[in-house]
Structure 1
Amino acid sequence: MFKARRMSRIFSDDGKSIILALDGYSFSAETSGIDKTIGMLSELVENGVDAVIVSYGTAKIYCDVLANVPMLVRADLSTSLFDASVPGTTKLLSVEDALKMGADGIVSMTFPGGENEANSHRIAWEIAKAADDWNMPFMCETLPYGYHVTSKQSNQIEKIAAGARLGTELGADMIKTRFTGEQGDAEIIKAAKCPVFALGGPKAENIFAYFTFVKHCIDVGAKGVAIGRNITQSPNPIGMAAGLNTIIHKNGTAEEAFKVYEAHFQHAN
């Protein structure tokens, strides 16, 4: 199968995508909501979700539910599950494993500037090369200095852009990374030279502000979002998906997205 064919499954017809990250068990003990969210996956897809990122075990447990949903599988695993900073990663899955699972893409992290930089880059390179050999799309999650924003440098546009480009240089077909919310974020897109997805980020307390941020990311050139806890831990996951759909696939405003979110909340209650 050609790589372009698999890529086309990850994206909607408009070239954008809402990717639901359900891979938290690979790098965090804070996984509440993932299993519950999978139970409503068909409704989430109806409201805009285009693809999912999963771990091997999640894909195996929920193979029936995921059968008709475009799927990327996480190849790496935290080396310290109970350390929320994700101090390092190790390679777990091969591209061949992902193909046997019926995946449409494979994902790993890199940490430019971090203490574990060399190992994370080596993992990404090995996956990228094998992904090219097997025509499998590779998404590189490039996170300067580490998994979380812990310093001014780790959230600087210049550093994020350089990290995104490094992911491309390692062979990525797609980049998943941070955005700062500043207009200069367009430099991240420019540097990457391939489709970029905005990292979903920490759980949002202000939903309107979050939609405003997502709208900004799309306006500067992101091809969508890869979002986890802001759906899986939301009190209104269907409304979140529908709100994101309003912005990403319907070219709506943050105000319109928030109205859609609230309408789903009221209907659910």
Structure 2
Amino acid sequence: MTGKQIRLKRLFKHSDRLFIAPMDHGVTVGPVQGLTDMPLMAGLIRAGRADAVVVHKGLVNQITDCLGANGCELIVHLSASTSLAPDPNRKELVSSVEHAIRLGATAVSVHVNLGSAGEPAMLKDLGMIADSCASWSMPLLAMMYVRDGNKESEYDPAKIKHAARLAEEVGADIVKVNYTGSAETFAEVTGAVKIPVVIAGGPKMSSVNELLDMIEESTAAGARGVAIGRNLFQHPDPARLARIIRQILDQKPLRQRSEKIAIINF
């Protein structure tokens, strides 16, 4: 078993479906609701049995008590941009695989916005990080979005399938993409690659039921997990919601359908 395989096994620590909680939003939009107290939120997510959290390098020291064999695995996000920039879709590398290793990361992640003006540079960065990950046996999560100026493109099955395949061919070990809206079309995405596909949580939804239905549909279509950010950390009870997501991913039946929506409506 290679070092990368060992680390991937750590990521999928609870089952063969991966539950990631991205908490890297502070760089993009600032200290939004849910991310003002990082140790508290990381503790709640840990209590909900998420497999891993995604953070930028500077906040790792705030959440170390929630990491490790009995907690969440660490994914260090290497790319960034802000909503204040002239082109927020242009992501720049702000850290390295080597630094993530020094921080104790189990994996690293890179964000690419396809169809944007900065696509060529972001693809180059993704390729170079993939090479570095291969050298260090570090798993790479590629966060692939279609941002060509047309909102419909962000959920277009053909374009998302292209994004997933691109990530695989450049060297990613896991790819995160938007859910296409139906199990039938998303099965085309998962069927186009051999690496695990996880769905993005997307914008904050109007109800928990909508979120959990998306998770159920995507996993039925072959998704190997989820990366749920603001729909989790901006929920009134993140730990309970995380536990329910974990049950769905692990294919453990809920006691009753109403369990999914009782008390935890947004």
CA contact (8 A) 2:14 2:51 kept: no
Map 1:199-214 → 2, pairs under 5 A: 199-214=200-215
Distance across 2 between alignment mates of 1:111 and 1:253: 36
Distance across 1 between alignment mates of 2:189 and 2:47: 31
Counterpart position of 2:151: 151
Structure 2: tracts of 5 or more residues without a match: none
Distance across 2 between alignment mates of 1:217 and 1:38: 30
CA contact (8 A) 2:48 2:238 kept: no
- TM-score (normalised: structure 2): 0.89
In structure 2, what residue type is equivalent to 1:44?
A: I
Which of 71, 82, 96 does residue 74 from structure 2 map onto? 71
Cα distance change of structure 1 residues 167 and 150 upon mapping to structure 2, 3 Å threshold: same
Distance across 2 between alignment mates of 1:14 and 1:159: 29
Cα distance change of structure 1 residues 235 and 132 upon mapping to structure 2, 3 Å threshold: same
- TM-score (normalised: structure 1): 0.88
Counterpart position of 1:125: 127
CA contact (8 A) 1:239 1:261 kept: no
Note the C-alpha offset of 1:96: 0.2
- The count of aligned residue pairs is 261
Corresponding position: 1:249 with 2:250: yes
Once the two structures are superposed, residues 155-178 of structure 1 have per-residue CA deviations (whole angstroms, 9 ceiling, x without a partner) of 210000001100111110000110
CA contact (8 A) 2:26 2:32 kept: yes
Note the C-alpha offset of 1:252: 3.2
Note the C-alpha offset of 1:61: 2.8
Map 1:178-197 → 2, pairs under 5 A: 178-182=178-182, 183-197=184-198
Distance across 1 between alignment mates of 2:150 and 2:206: 20
Counterpart position of 2:167: 167
2:222 is paired with a residue of what secondary structure? coil
CA contact (8 A) 2:89 2:147 kept: no
Counterpart position of 1:240: 241
User: What RMSD in Å do the two structures reach over aligned CA positions?
Assistant: 2.4
Distance across 2 between alignment mates of 1:175 and 1:207: 24
Distance across 2 between alignment mates of 1:85 and 1:176: 22
Note the C-alpha offset of 1:48: 2.6
Counterpart position of 1:92: 94
Cα distance change of structure 1 residues 131 and 207 upon mapping to structure 2, 3 Å threshold: same
Structure 1: tracts of 5 or more residues without a match: none
Distance across 1 between alignment mates of 2:73 and 2:163: 27
CA contact (8 A) 1:59 1:66 kept: no
2:19 is paired with a residue of what secondary structure? strand
2:191 is paired with a residue of what secondary structure? helix
CA contact (8 A) 2:38 2:63 kept: no
Distance across 2 between alignment mates of 1:137 and 1:5: 10
In structure 2, what residue type is equivalent to 1:75?
A: L
2:15 is paired with a residue of what secondary structure? coil
Note the C-alpha offset of 1:195: 0.4
2:146 is paired with a residue of what secondary structure? coil
Counterpart position of 1:82: 84
1:143 is paired with a residue of what secondary structure? strand
Distance across 2 between alignment mates of 1:41 and 1:142: 24
Counterpart position of 1:45: 46
Identity score, percent? 25
Distance across 1 between alignment mates of 2:204 and 2:38: 15
